[in-house]
Structure 1
Amino acid sequence: MTKNWKRLLIVTLCATALLAACSGGKEKEAAAGGTYDENAAAEISWLNILHTASPPTDTITNKLQENTNTTIKFSWIPDASKEERINTSLASDSLADMVTLTMMENSSVRNALKSGMFWEVEDYLDDYPNLKEISAEMRASASIEGKLYGVPFQKDLARNGVVIRQDWLDKLGLDVPTTTDELMAVAKAFTLDDPDGNGKADTTGFVDRSDLIYGAFKTLGSYMGVPNKWAVDKSGKMTPEFDTEAYVETMDYMKELYDNSFINKDFAVTAKTDQQQNFAQGKAGIYVGALFDSKNLLNMAKDIQDGMELVLVNNITSTGKEEDRAIWAGNNGIGGLLSFPKSEVKDEAELKRILKFVDDLMTEESYALMTYGVEDVHYTVDDDRAATITDTPLWQQEVQPFASSRPNETGFEIHDADPLKQEADRLIAENAEFAVMNPAYALESETNTAQGSELEKIVTDATYKYILGEIKLADFEKAIENWKSSGGQTIITEYEAAYKELNK
């Protein structure tokens, strides 16, 4: 990609006649590009990920440019092809001033970050009012070997929970479940007791998809006490989540659902879009995933299941004890990095101007633009700062593509007027108190970087096969040993060494 940066407005320099009088410190600062005009107009290119079918029109881009005094040049990469495109861009060094990196476990990404290709930004963040609010914990989690190679995308710590048909609970005289046993009982009733009243055996309790992380399995695992990818004890010993009793208990729970048809039989090959459509069409009454999906599920059900009422649940445990509440934190609240390649951002002055731009993207005004759009065009807002989308097709075309580009998604005054979304936001915020972090997220293992995805497939395949009844527990345990002998034990050793080094 051709570098596209207009020089910042001229930094004040000592006149030639006075050059000899400039202090050595000032000379050093100028040489390093240390001074810059934060109000200078700038043109900034951004290699970004697109999660919608088509890129946005210029409406929101133009508003953001006005607010940030920049010209923004987007290069959009479709989410479905991001791995190939990002890997190619990294290998060919055809990047942009800003690069959205979301695949933090990808070997090409990690190697590029560690190679020195991108600027370290830790020392600059506190110079900006919004960037300085990024917590020390988040900075540490987003770092690699103690170095922060970009601005972390800040997301809610723990977004997942259970969405249940309240109208079906009411029809069958059931209470909202608070334990995994009660949830199983609801799944059984939703499967066998005709909750939709049509006289047909055409419903299941759960509807799930082919995803052990963002589907039902990992959230149910949290309720069972499964660690978030890794557990570490006081001595620094690391244990992968799948080598715990709680993981086996979660597989057994899913197997019971599957054996009794309390979950869709094709869950292991079901896509998320099909999962949500099936729920909206009244084929199941329990959905496990991001709590904010509930608003979309209800909207999808209009004119299909008009009597649908939903309840959101985030306080399920296997024991019924409040002290056992837990929910996994997705990537420790980090959605990736906004990184700045040195091949494009030539000096410190350019870096500082771009960081000023990112800081401007984290204001209330920019967040509102990238989330709801232009007031009285895409949405209206009441005195409580509750926003209602008034032109959904226009919003989908012009605003929705920016949702994944917001550097920060939390802590803003403006909020969704929809009561279900407000309840989801409330429960997600509450989840933070019970969030279980991944202690290895910021640790480095060369073997995991090189082989982690390949090795993970061993465990994923064995997990599905166990749930589907294709293998026994002894076979699953053999798969774990295969994982260890194929490189997993080396990953454990490397993570333990990295953990001890970081915490010595």
Structure 2
Amino acid sequence: MTRTTRQLMRAWMLLLACLSLISACSNHTGMNLPLKNSSSPEAESNNESASSSNAVSDGESNDHQLKSYMLRFVYPGSPQEDEAEIESAMNEYLLTKINATIDLMPIEWGPWDDKINLMVASREKVDILFTAQWNKHAVNVSKGAFLELDELLEQYGQGILQSLDPVFLAGAKIEGKNYAVPTNKELAAQGGIVYRSDIADELGIDMSKVKSLEDLDEVYQTILAQKPGMTPIYMKLGETFNSHYVGNFDALGDTSIPGIILKDGDSTEVLPAYEVDRYVNTLRITRQFYQKGYINKDAATNQTMNNDALKSGDVFSITSALKPGKDEELAIQTGLIGKLAQLPLNEKTIATSETAGSMLAISSTSQDPARAMMFINLLHTDPYLNNLLNYGIEGKHYVKLNELVIKPTEYTKNYNPGSNWMFGNQFLNYVWDSENPEKWNVFREFNQNAKISPGLGFVFDGDQVRAEVAAVVNVARQYQTAMETGSVDVDKVLPEYRDSLKAAGIEKIIAEKQKQFNRYLASK
């Protein structure tokens, strides 16, 4: 279905909704919902979908009448073939709950950063956006892109406050305020690889013996020798052994800004990565793997997503953030059911990157922030809406085996976004029949006994070193991916990278980050 066709369908559905609303009002059956005053700083008085600030009072009570409003929801992911059908079903339901319709606006991961930057810079009118600590959340907050949400949470997010572990909101604060609502999901984090268990079994590889990156050498040797044409480990930009989730590096905010501590350590000294032994040692191991042919030769430039590479059937393993059932989720998305397993390569930790690792923000250009918060609250509390967004329509995109377990159909491929970790409350999600039926109880157990990063709750404010940050980000683009995928000689390139970073002002950034971090630690 083309974008133009989908837009026409949305316009038609909105017209029907408006006609329905007019009819209801003429029969004196208009919807009445409690609504307190809350509006965007940029709300327009002539907005066709009235916001809460100009809601109509019924004159007899404290309730106010909500007029129809379309919410524009922006998040990363591939557009789905049956997206318009899911939108229609969501509209039908949302009109009865908060008198709203929805415009789902997924953006492919590849161009995500550029498109969001443009959206923020141009002040495009949207309502809800995905954001994350590792995806320039603090930077966008400093730009005024997101609204401060504490009052909106109190007014329209009581379901969120009652169901979400307080540590999520506490760990996501910036200068004591929340600018996005975290997803209710696993609180702990772990990293490692997802691999083809069917291939390992076929070749007699005992993956239980693998305890470290070095142990993968023998495994990948076997794959290379006995499975010609199969890539032992696929890598790309940001998906390497030096990714923060595998290395357990805490960037204390945006991962593109230098200065790290170890999440599984006790030191609070902020260091550039090139002074951290774990980082440099991992660069050397990765380089050896690349030279031995274990890593795809185009790793420094290839933009194919990990999941798509795995789906091709020509890849044995990928790096991945792990959680209970991650291998089963990927198996469903890639069509490799029963053929994948996961292998942790580090210690479980809890850091700001987890508490603020997946969030929904309300844009400062929203014309009805209250309605946007109502929608986010529904994603945290309403099983029907949450599962509709995540799995599609019952009877078509899945079939229920019981109240919790579902199985795929021939149409699952038409709507299977695999974005559960982004939307509201994962503990409301159904479980595929190929997954552990106790998945959510296992999640709760997974959250226990994790190492807490010394930096939990701290997010660096880069305003004082904005010019230096821009300069070092440009340097990183030239060197980082090539080095972290093993594509270049570490001994030759790392000194060049270090010198270029110093010339760009990295030492000033590190000093400012340490200063702010020390102040935060003292305040605790």
Which range, TM-score by smaller chain?
0.7 to 0.9
In the alignment, the residues of structure 2 paired with residue 295 and residue 405 of structure 1 have an alpha-carbon distance, to the nearest angstrom, of: 11
- Structure 1 376/297 Cα, relative in aligned 2: closer, same or farther at 3 Å? closer
Aligned-residue CA RMSD in angstroms?
4.2
Name 1:147's counterpart in structure 2.
Answer: 177
Name 1:214's counterpart in structure 2.
Answer: 239
1:39-82 superposed Cα distances (whole Å, 9 cap, x missing partner): 84541432523622468213333244245232225273633544
CA shift, 1:369, in A, is 0.9
Superposed counterparts of 1:12-27, under 5 Å: none
Q: 1:337 aligns with which of 349, 355, 360?
A: 360
Superposed counterparts of 1:36-435, under 5 Å: 37=64, 40=66, 42-49=68-75, 51-53=77-79, 56-57=83-84, 58-66=87-95, 68-74=97-103, 76=105, 78-79=107-108, 80-96=110-126, 98-102=127-131, 113-114=141-142, 118-127=146-155, 128-132=157-161, 133-157=163-187, 158=189, 160-176=191-207, 177-180=209-212, 181-192=214-225, 194=226, 196=227, 201-204=228-231, 206-211=232-237, 213-218=238-243, 221-222=246-247, 226-227=249-250, 230-231=260-261, 236-273=268-305, 276=307, 279-280=310-311, 282-290=313-321, 292=326, 295-296=329-330, 300=334, 309-314=339-344, 316-317=345-346, 330=353, 332-341=355-364, 344-345=366-367, 351-362=369-380, 363-383=382-402, 385-392=404-411, 395-397=412-414, 399-400=415-416, 403=419, 407-412=423-428, 414-419=430-435, 426=442, 430=446, 433-434=449-450
In the alignment, the residues of structure 1 paired with residue 143 and residue 313 of structure 2 have an alpha-carbon distance, to the nearest angstrom, of: 51
Give the residue type in structure 2 aligned to 1:482: S
1:9-36 superposed Cα distances (whole Å, 9 cap, x missing partner): 5346699xxxxxxxxxxxxxxxxxxx76
Give the residue type in structure 1 aligned to 2:388: L
Matched-pair contact (CA < 8 Å) for 1:164–1:311 = yes
Q: How many residues in Structure 1 have an aligned counterpart in Structure 2? A: 452
Unpaired runs of 5+ residues, structure 2, are 1-43
Give the residue type in structure 2 aligned to 1:191: L
Tell me the TM-score normalized by structure 2.
0.71
SS at the partner of 1:100? Answer: strand
SS at the partner of 2:375? Answer: helix
In the alignment, the residues of structure 1 paired with residue 151 and residue 193 of structure 2 have an alpha-carbon distance, to the nearest angstrom, of: 40
1:402-436 superposed Cα distances (whole Å, 9 cap, x missing partner): 94795324222522222389879957973775477
Give the residue type in structure 2 aligned to 1:480: R
SS at the partner of 1:491? Answer: helix
1:456-481 superposed Cα distances (whole Å, 9 cap, x missing partner): 45346156247647444364144224
Matched-pair contact (CA < 8 Å) for 2:458–2:517 = no
Matched-pair contact (CA < 8 Å) for 2:128–2:372 = no
Q: 1:495 aligns with which of 499, 507, 513?
A: 513
Matched-pair contact (CA < 8 Å) for 1:226–1:244 = no
Matched-pair contact (CA < 8 Å) for 1:120–1:147 = yes
In the alignment, the residues of structure 2 paired with residue 140 and residue 184 of structure 1 have an alpha-carbon distance, to the nearest angstrom, of: 41
1:190-248 superposed Cα distances (whole Å, 9 cap, x missing partner): 222x1x5xxxx4344x231322x3344427843xx655552178785322444300001
In the alignment, the residues of structure 2 paired with residue 5 and residue 110 of structure 1 have an alpha-carbon distance, to the nearest angstrom, of: 30
* Residue 66 (structure 2) pairs with residue 10 (structure 1): no
SS at the partner of 1:239? Answer: coil
1:295-318 superposed Cα distances (whole Å, 9 cap, x missing partner): 55577567xxx9x8333222x35x
SS at the partner of 1:46? Answer: strand
- Structure 1 151/326 Cα, relative in aligned 2: closer, same or farther at 3 Å? closer
In the alignment, the residues of structure 1 paired with residue 466 and residue 444 of structure 2 have an alpha-carbon distance, to the nearest angstrom, of: 31
1:72-104 superposed Cα distances (whole Å, 9 cap, x missing partner): 2527363354444444443443413x2315376
Give the residue type in structure 1 aligned to 2:435: P
In the alignment, the residues of structure 2 paired with residue 344 and residue 309 of structure 1 have an alpha-carbon distance, to the nearest angstrom, of: 44
In the alignment, the residues of structure 2 paired with residue 165 and residue 246 of structure 1 have an alpha-carbon distance, to the nearest angstrom, of: 27
Matched-pair contact (CA < 8 Å) for 2:241–2:484 = no
Name 2:40's counterpart in structure 1.
Answer: none
- Structure 1 117/278 Cα, relative in aligned 2: closer, same or farther at 3 Å? closer
SS at the partner of 2:78? Answer: coil
In the alignment, the residues of structure 1 paired with residue 466 and residue 445 of structure 2 have an alpha-carbon distance, to the nearest angstrom, of: 32
In the alignment, the residues of structure 2 paired with residue 277 and residue 76 of structure 1 have an alpha-carbon distance, to the nearest angstrom, of: 21
In the alignment, the residues of structure 1 paired with residue 193 and residue 383 of structure 2 have an alpha-carbon distance, to the nearest angstrom, of: 30
Matched-pair contact (CA < 8 Å) for 2:240–2:485 = no
- Structure 1 243/121 Cα, relative in aligned 2: closer, same or farther at 3 Å? same
Report % sequence identity: 16
In the alignment, the residues of structure 1 paired with residue 482 and residue 274 of structure 2 have an alpha-carbon distance, to the nearest angstrom, of: 12
- Structure 1 145/279 Cα, relative in aligned 2: closer, same or farther at 3 Å? same
SS at the partner of 1:387? Answer: strand
Name 2:38's counterpart in structure 1.
Answer: none
In the alignment, the residues of structure 1 paired with residue 140 and residue 484 of structure 2 have an alpha-carbon distance, to the nearest angstrom, of: 37
Of 477-486 and 109-118, more deviation after overlay is shown by 109-118
Superposed counterparts of 1:27-42, under 5 Å: 37=64, 40=66, 42=68
Give the residue type in structure 1 aligned to 2:304: K
Of 456-465 and 371-380, more deviation after overlay is shown by 456-465
- Structure 1 298/115 Cα, relative in aligned 2: closer, same or farther at 3 Å? closer
In the alignment, the residues of structure 2 paired with residue 216 and residue 370 of structure 1 have an alpha-carbon distance, to the nearest angstrom, of: 32
In the alignment, the residues of structure 2 paired with residue 463 and residue 69 of structure 1 have an alpha-carbon distance, to the nearest angstrom, of: 45
Unpaired runs of 5+ residues, structure 1, are 16-34, 318-323
SS at the partner of 2:125? Answer: coil
Matched-pair contact (CA < 8 Å) for 2:398–2:406 = yes
Matched-pair contact (CA < 8 Å) for 2:98–2:371 = no
Tell me the TM-score normalized by structure 1.
0.73
Give the residue type in structure 1 aligned to 2:153: L
Of 239-248 and 463-472, more deviation after overlay is shown by 463-472
Of 176-185 and 151-160, more deviation after overlay is shown by 151-160
In the alignment, the residues of structure 1 paired with residue 410 and residue 119 of structure 2 have an alpha-carbon distance, to the nearest angstrom, of: 37
- Structure 1 149/327 Cα, relative in aligned 2: closer, same or farther at 3 Å? closer
Name 1:473's counterpart in structure 2.
Answer: 491
Matched-pair contact (CA < 8 Å) for 1:138–1:332 = yes
Of 234-243 and 175-184, more deviation after overlay is shown by 234-243
In the alignment, the residues of structure 1 paired with residue 501 and residue 457 of structure 2 have an alpha-carbon distance, to the nearest angstrom, of: 18
- Structure 1 45/434 Cα, relative in aligned 2: closer, same or farther at 3 Å? same
